[in-house]
Chain A
């Protein structure tokens, strides 16, 4: 479904974030991108919704190259991609439910239908009872769950998560991973960038490791000895 072919990304300041990365991601897969901070995980994720464009190489999504996609079409591409951020990026000037409704409103859905679907998404992440709260009053874990509800509310085929557990303790991190796993099990292709290799391994999914912009290994965590014990 998503293919990276010999992708390079060099920033204008000369920093080479990705070097010759080739990667195939299948439909319905959940894949972990791991590596130290600055290894290029975020950059790789940003290439998918065209927040950045590669300097070289090709990216094929659903059979079509998105490398030279016209600016005009980028919003439509992004409506098919759900995004979860380390810092949640919720809007604090409106209640939880309105945050979750945002992607639906953008796609031009009827207001009542928006509300219904947002409530369903909040129900899935277990926060329906807090729909009218201000995001500030929520705990970090809850805020991240709202972020996930917002990312999946318009049922995108692709879900990108950049360090979704970065600010959370291990127990909450596990909860978030399980939640993402659940969405993946209903058919969403999920790409999760995390520096927490231990946690990623526990999930027993394919994991690729980036090191200084290069893809080091691509394997399923099943093959890693000791995985699944903790």
Chain B
């Protein structure tokens, strides 16, 4: 009987404890936000610094993502020019083209006989007279091939190699070199992005840490008093951790706005440039997953910053 009563009481007191624990969290969240708005300028400055530090790698990431899609677009516009052997008759060359049309990797196979090639060359260069003087047509028959546009660099290269091995083929030319170079550059940019993320993450932690350190100094009296009346470390550090979380979260959101604004500013000239390339490329703007990732990252860094400040400075404050 007594045991049951005790168990019941302990259950009740546990429930009360849990409730008051939750309510303390909520009051910390609330008070921390109120504090933030009490000194709006100082808070805004801190958040602006965080936002810039987060927007730099975030913006660069968006930029490389856009470049990658753009280079993807260019890859899909790729053509392979198949130069056949000069001594091949037109009929034999046509047969090669017919054969290629059955290849499922190719969407379009366009045959150009030696005469057609010469005509086009004349049309494009205007060397009519000079070419007329030649005793025979120096151009080989050509097959222009458009591969399926889901094939990417490696598949394209191996396709070109495979085509080049056919006995009737003199040369298979795939103009991918510059895209490869672009992708190489993008890879370097992405790698430096990692380094940048690391450095700026440390910067964010230091900025938040310093802000929270000042906050701890400002609230020294309160810390001493709460400690005198039996507050635990967890209780004392909780509001400061929430301060850090708010800074990180709001800084992250502000960073997203900065990135959006920057991309928007770039939008018009980039659009013009893209029109010149006749591409149907659509620039990527930060979506919900990106915003969620950046703000969570900011929040995590804010928390870590607050945590470093708290673990360095809070415990030094002992009541006398």
B231 and A91 within 8 A (CB): no
In chain B, positions 137-175 with a C-beta closer than 8 Å to chain A are: none
Question: How many cross-chain pairs have Cβ atoms below 8 Å apart between A and B?
Answer: 57
State whether A102 and B23 are in contact (beta carbons under 8 Å apart), knowing that A75-B231, A78-B230 are contacts in the complex. no
A residues engaging B (CB < 8 A)?
Answer: 46, 49, 51, 74-81, 83, 89, 91, 93, 102-103, 105-111, 150
Task: Please tell me if the beta carbons of A51 and B231 are within 8 angstroms of each other in the complex.
Answer: no
Q: Is the CB of B319 within 8 A of A103?
A: no
What 19 new A-B contacts, CB under 8 Å, besides A83-B229, A106-B230?
A51-B228, A51-B319, A75-B227, A75-B230, A76-B230, A78-B228, A78-B230, A79-B230, A89-B225, A89-B228, A91-B225, A103-B229, A103-B230, A106-B231, A108-B16, A108-B17, A110-B16, A111-B27, A150-B229
Task: Report the minimum CB–CB distance from A81 to chain B (whole Å).
Answer: 8
Contacts of B20 in A (CB 8 A): 108-110
Majority SS at the chain B contact face: helix
What residues of chain B have their CB less than 8 Å away from a CB belonging to chain A? 16-17, 19-21, 23-24, 27, 221-222, 224-232, 235, 318-320
CB-based contact B226/A51 at 8 Å: no
- State in angstroms the CA–CA spacing of A208 and B84 once bound together: 115
Residues of A within 8 A of B225 (CB): 89, 91, 102
Set of chain B residues within 8 Å of A76, measured between Cβ atoms? 230
Closest 3 CB pairs of A and B: A78-B230, A79-B230, A108-B20
Residue of A nearest to B17 (CB): A108
- Complex A-B: 8 CB contacts under 8 Å: A51-B320, A79-B229, A83-B229, A91-B221, A91-B225, A103-B229, A106-B226, A106-B235
A74 to B232, CA, bound (A): 9
Considering only CB atoms, which chain A residue lies closest to B228 in the complex?
A83
Residues of A within 8 A of B21 (CB): 108
Contact between A110 and B230 (Cβ–Cβ < 8 Å)? no
A167–B19 alpha-carbon span in the complex (Å): 41
Q: Is B230 within 8 A of A107, CB to CB?
A: yes
Residue of A whose beta carbon sits closest to that of B235: A106
CB-CB < 8 A to B16: which residues of A?
108, 110
Instruction: Report how far A46 CA is from B319 CA in the complex, Å.
Output: 10
Contact residues in B for A46 (Cβ distance below 8 Å): 320
Task: Write the nearest CB–CB distance from B31 to chain A, whole angstroms.
Answer: 10
CB distance from B226 to the nearest CB of A (A): 6
Write out the residue numbers on chain B whose beta carbons fall within 8 Å of the beta carbon of A83. 228-229
Q: For A91, what are the chain B residues with a Cβ–Cβ distance below 8 Å?
A: 221-222, 225
Asked whether A49 and B228 contact (CB < 8 A) given A89-B221, A108-B17, A110-B16, the answer is yes
Q: Given the complex of chains A and B, what is the CA–CA distance between A105 and B28 in angstroms? A: 12
User: Which residues of chain A are within 8 angstroms of B226 by Cβ–Cβ distance?
Assistant: 102, 106
Contact partners of A109 in chain B: CB under 8 A: 20
Tell me the bound Cα distance from A91 to B224 in angstroms: 10
Q: Which residue in chain A gives the minimum CB-CB distance to B231? A: A106
Q: Is the CB of A108 within 8 A of B24?
A: yes
Taking the closest CB of chain A, its distance from the CB of B313, in whole angstroms, is 18
A150 to B17 Cα, complex, angstroms: 22
**A93, B218: Cα distance in complex, Å:** 11
Residues in chain B near residue A110, CB distance under 8 A: 16, 19-20, 23
Listed residue (A76, A77, A93) with the most chain B CB atoms within 10 angstroms of its CB? A93
- Chain B hits for A49, CB < 8 A: 228
Q: Which residues of B contact A78 (CB under 8 A)?
A: 227-230
Minimum CB–CB distance for A80 against chain B, Å: 8
- For A106, give its contact among B221, B229, B319 (CB under 8 Å): B229
B227 shortest CB reach to chain A, Å: 8
Residues of chain A within 8 A (CB-CB) of B17 are: 108
Chain B nearest CB, measured from A48 CB (Å)? 12
- Given the complex of chains A and B, what is the CA–CA distance between A89 and B222 in angstroms? 9
How long is the Cα–Cα vector from A37 to B27 in the complex, in angstroms?
42
A91 to B318, CA, bound (A): 17
Q: Which residue of B lies closest to A107 (CB)?
A: B230
Kindly state the separation between the CA atoms of A107 and B222 in the bound complex, as whole angstroms.
Answer: 16
State how many angstroms separate the Cβ of B108 from the closest Cβ of chain A: 73
